[in-house]
């Protein structure tokens, strides 16, 4: 069967997909996006975590056909995704600060966000031929040494980034719970927790 | 294999009638594991994720009508006041990624004795609304489980919703496992106080071929509480009543030895969980407080 959906903001189409195939397989083997890792194929390790219509899920447990028409974000698109989000937040704040009429500001921000943010990113990228900066969680994982073999990293980045989107200033309990579906065999997790704390601190500071 | 993608409930029923062997797939957290590991090769997968009504719930006077596919995460976030026992149980399921997809309808469809929703549904009181092109019926949840991983659904039927009694008093759920996340219950126990009817109900998971209520324990406790005037007086339950209740809960088990635990351990653990959860909920009832008797955040208290 054919599956058509959006991956990292781009329309994608996969042909000859077997009906029992997982979204993970389609991403890795058919669309050339090997960032999401395949370790257990049974939902235990979280290394295949992606956003499906915004929700973190194990791509190995989503049937390919269930992704039809949906939006997927993988680690390959995380930098761009986080960049667009931060532009949106900055825009929102600026709009609210610049005017006293909050109703108008909200409307303006709401209508412009999606399209403008994308256009802005596209123009910048085209002009400078530079990819967007790494997402705060990505930079923090590098800076704290939270990566050893790196196999668990893509899933952890997606999960951690979604936590910070929802809870910008998470408690340690929040972090542990949000990452409880992601296994790492190398780091012993301490540096991963450090990384998420660092990303949270940097993001809140930047606001 | 064919991937069926009904856009409405009626279409889904028609598809199931036409292909009775089709395997419904909601969150996929059970089904996809079986397919990935080649344990199942159905001719048809029946995708239920396009049917919006299965993701909705309605809160009525007496009950919550929970759409079959509502993910655990939603139950935890939105229904903890009405369905505290189920919300605590939901919080122990798998991991955030699993809770974002997995559903009570899927738990019932799989009908594993270890499914965490079952004890909570048994204790609260629930009916499963199922339907086919022939019509619909409501099955008391006690009668829904018919054997290990078997349920009362006919070949052409689908689960539409679960009608769960809203909590009238404190409820608790407790589960034994090796860590907090990603654990299949070694055994589990749920309790619900129903001050409106002056009854207590229970549910036991993973300690018998199917999830079960500890009926003899409930009968004993209901009689003891009535005779002693406990519901009116707000008195503490005596240790001898609690002990007997716990023994009868253990006696309701029919467990097996397996890799997760021995039968003897399961019986013992169920008796401990029964005594403790009775204590927590009864104290919450006496205090007239919240509906879980839980003082720690997120229901993370240890049994
Ligand atoms: C890593 C991992 C951890 C897990 N941890 C737990 C845990 O801690 N506790 C627990 O209880 N479970 C756990 N599970 C099992 C699973 O997540 C639950 O059983 C969940 O409730 C299944 O819901 P689902 O929507 O994903 O079901 P699916 O996988 O889509 O379906 C499950 C079964 O129900 C049937 N079905 C689904 N919807 C319907 C319907 N509307 N009508 C008729 N049949 C239907 C399907 O055909 C299938 O047989 C875990 C699974 C994984 C992969
Ligand atoms: S590969 Fe999906 S959770 Fe392990
Ligand atoms: S860095 Fe190797 S598994 Fe986490």
Q: Provide ipTM, 2 decimals.
A: 0.93
- How many distinct helices (H) and strands (E) make up chain A? 7, 5
Q: How many CB atoms lie within 10 A of CB B220?
A: 18
Confidence at residue A132, expressed as pLDDT on a 0 to 100 scale: 85
**pLDDT tens-digit map of B5-19:** 999 999 999 999 999
Is B303 a residue whose pLDDT tops 90?
A: no
Mean pLDDT across chain B, nearest whole number? Answer: 94
Confidence at residue B276, expressed as pLDDT on a 0 to 100 scale: 98
3-state helix, strand, coil in chain B (%, to 5): 40, 25, 40
What residues have CB less than 8 Å from A160, skipping those under 6 apart?
A137, A175, A178, A179, A192, A195, A196, A199
Contact B1 A20 (CB under 8 A): yes
Look up residue B6 and give its two tokens.
């009904």
A203 lines ligand 2 (CB under 6 A): no
Please name which of B31, B44, B33 lies closest in space to residue B2, comparing C-alpha atoms.
B44
**How far is the C-alpha of B274 from the C-alpha of B214, rounded, in Å?**
10
- What value does the mean pLDDT take over residues B64-74? 98
Residue nearest to atom 3 of ligand 2 (CA): A43
Confidence at residue B290, expressed as pLDDT on a 0 to 100 scale: 54
**What does DSSP assign to residue B237?**
P
Q: Which residues of B touch A (CB under 8 A)?
A: 1-3, 5, 25, 27-29, 31-33, 35-37, 41, 45, 47, 49, 94-98, 100-101, 180-182, 297-298
**In ligand 2, which atom is closest to the CA atom of A24?**
2
Question: Is some CB atom of chain B closer than 8 A to the CB atom of A32?
Answer: no
The domain segmentation of chain B, as residue ranges, is 171-287
CATH class of the domain defined by A136-206: mainly alpha
CATH class of the domain defined by B171-287: alpha beta
**Of residues B137 and A96, more confidently modeled:** B137
Contact A181 B94 (CB under 8 A): yes
Look up residue B142 and give its two tokens.
């006690």
Contact A181 B36 (CB under 8 A): no
Question: Model-level pTM?
Answer: 0.92
Confidence at residue B299, expressed as pLDDT on a 0 to 100 scale: 43
Confidence at residue B179, expressed as pLDDT on a 0 to 100 scale: 86
Residue B119 · residue B188 · CB < 8 Å: yes
Is B302 a residue whose pLDDT tops 50?
A: no
CA end-to-end span of chain A: 46
Pocket test for ligand 3, best of A153, A159, A188 (most atoms within 8 A of CB): A153
Residue B74 Cα to ligand 2 midpoint, Å, equals 22
| Nearest ligand to the CA atom of A24 | 2
Confidence at residue A90, expressed as pLDDT on a 0 to 100 scale: 76
Domain range A3-73, CATH architecture: Roll (3.10)
Please name which of B95, B85, B46, B88 lies closest in space to residue B68, comparing C-alpha atoms.
B46
Beta pairing partners, B202? B191
Is B252 a residue whose pLDDT tops 50?
A: yes
Confidence at residue A81, expressed as pLDDT on a 0 to 100 scale: 97
Is B296 a residue whose pLDDT tops 80?
A: no
A67 lines ligand 2 (CB under 6 A): no
Residue A150 Cα to ligand 2 midpoint, Å, equals 15
CA dist list (Å): A69 to A5, A17, B32: 5, 15, 20
**How far is the C-alpha of A86 from the C-alpha of B296, rounded, in Å?**
34
**In ligand 1, which atom is closest to the CA atom of B107?**
21
Is B50 a residue whose pLDDT tops 80?
A: yes
**pLDDT tens-digit map of B89-103:** 999 999 999 999 999
Among A113-127, A192-206, B145-159, B191-205, the range scoring the smallest mean pLDDT is A113-127
**What does DSSP assign to residue B176?**
E
Question: Could you give phi then psi for residue B240, rounded to 5 degrees?
Answer: -70, -35
Is B135 a residue whose pLDDT tops 90?
A: yes
Residue B31 Cα to ligand 1 midpoint, Å, equals 7
Please name which of B136, B80, B79, B132 lies closest in space to residue B292, comparing C-alpha atoms.
B80
Residue A159 Cα to ligand 2 midpoint, Å, equals 13
Residues 157-176 (A) with a CB less than 8 A from some CB of B: 159, 173
Q: Which of A159, A163, A181 to mutate to test the interface with B (most CBs of B within 10 A)?
A: A181
Confidence at residue A105, expressed as pLDDT on a 0 to 100 scale: 39
Is B165 a residue whose pLDDT tops 50?
A: yes
Contact A43 B49 (CB under 8 A): no
All residues of chain A having their beta carbon less than 8 Å from the beta carbon of residue B101 are: 55, 57-58, 61-62
Between chain A and chain B, how many beta carbons pairs sit less than 8 Å apart? Answer: 91
Residue nearest to atom 37 of ligand 1 (CA): B106
Beta strand B158-165 pairing with A3-7: unpaired
Beta strand B2-4 pairing with B44-47: parallel
**How far is the C-alpha of B101 from the C-alpha of B111, rounded, in Å?**
17
Is B259 a residue whose pLDDT tops 50?
A: yes
B205 lines ligand 1 (CB under 6 A): no
Place of tokens 């256009």: A119
Low-confidence ranges of chain A (pLDDT < 70): 92-129
Among A27-41, B66-80, B175-189, the range scoring the smallest mean pLDDT is B175-189
B105 lines ligand 1 (CB under 6 A): yes
Contact A43 B47 (CB under 8 A): no
Question: Is some CB atom of chain B closer than 8 A to the CB atom of A136?
Answer: no
**How far is the C-alpha of A50 from the C-alpha of B62, rounded, in Å?**
39
Confidence at residue A206, expressed as pLDDT on a 0 to 100 scale: 79
Is B106 a residue whose pLDDT tops 90?
A: yes
Is B140 a residue whose pLDDT tops 80?
A: yes
Residue A53 Cα to ligand 3 midpoint, Å, equals 27
The kind and range of the H/E element at A13 are strand A10-14
Among A154-158, B213-217, B257-261, the range scoring the smallest mean pLDDT is B257-261
The domain segmentation of chain A, as residue ranges, is 3-73, 79-128, 136-206
């Amino acid at each position: 069967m054919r599956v058509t959906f959006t991956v990292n903001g781009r329309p994608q189409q996969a042909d000859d997909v077997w009906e029992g195939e997982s979204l993970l397989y389609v991403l890795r083997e058919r669309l050339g996006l090997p960032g999401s890792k395949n370790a257990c194929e049974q939902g235990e390790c979280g290394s295949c975590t992606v956003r499906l219509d915004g929700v973190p899920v194990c791509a190995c447990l989503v049937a390919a056909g269930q992704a039809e028409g949906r939006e997927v974000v993988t680690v390959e698109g995380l930098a761009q995704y986080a960049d667009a989000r931060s532009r949106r937040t900055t825009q929102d704040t600026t709009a609210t600060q610049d005017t006293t009429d909050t109703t108008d500001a909200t409307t303006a921000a709401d209508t412009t966000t999606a399209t403008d943010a994308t256009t802005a990113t596209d123009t910048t990228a085209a002009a400078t031929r530079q990819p967007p900066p790494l997402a705060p969680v990505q930079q923090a994982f590098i800076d704290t040494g939270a990566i050893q073999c790196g196999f668990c990293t893509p899933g952890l980045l997606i999960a951690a980034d979604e936590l910070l989107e929802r809870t910008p200033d998470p408690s340690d309990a929040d972090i542990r719970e949000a990452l409880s579906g992601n296994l790492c065999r190398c780091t012993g997790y301490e540096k991963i927790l450090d990384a998420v704390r660092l990303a949270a601190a940097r993001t809140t500071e930047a606001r | 294999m064919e991937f069926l993608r009904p856009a409405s409930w009626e279409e889904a029923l028609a598809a199931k009638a036409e292909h009775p062997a089709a395997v419904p797939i909601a969150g996929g957290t059970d089904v996809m594991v079986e397919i990935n590991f080649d344990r199942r090769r159905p001719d048809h997968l029946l995708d239920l994720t396009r049917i919006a009504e299965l993701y909705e719930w309605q809160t009525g006077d007496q009950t919550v009508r929970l759409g079959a596919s509502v993910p655990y995460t939603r139950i935890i976030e939105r229904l903890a006041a009405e369905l505290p026992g189920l919300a605590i149980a939901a919080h122990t399921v798998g991991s955030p990624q699993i809770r974002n997809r997995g559903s009570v309808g899927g738990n019932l469809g799989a009908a594993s004795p270890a499914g965490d929703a079952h004890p909570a549904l048994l204790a609260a009181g629930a009916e499963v609304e199922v339907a086919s092109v022939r019509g619909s019926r409501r099955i008391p949840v006690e009668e829904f489980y018919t054997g290990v991983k078997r349920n009362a659904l006919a070949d052409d039927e689908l689960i539409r919703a679960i009608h769960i009694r809203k909590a009238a008093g404190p409820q608790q759920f407790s589960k034994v496992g090796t860590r907090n996340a990603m654990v299949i219950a070694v055994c589990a126990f749920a309790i619900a106080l129903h001050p409106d009817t002056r009854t207590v109900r229970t549910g036991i998971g993973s300690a018998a071929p199917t999830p079960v209520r500890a009926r003899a324990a409930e009968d004993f406790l209901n009689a003891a509480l009535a005779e002693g005037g406990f519901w009116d007086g707000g008195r503490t339950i005596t240790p001898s009543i609690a002990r007997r209740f716990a023994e009868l809960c253990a006696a309701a088990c029919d467990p097996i030895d397996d890799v997760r635990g021995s039968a003897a351990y399961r019986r013992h653990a169920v008796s401990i969980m029964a005594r403790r959860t009775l204590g927590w909920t009864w104290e919450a009832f006496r205090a007239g407080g919240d509906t879980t008797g839980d003082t720690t955040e997120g229901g993370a208290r240890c049994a």
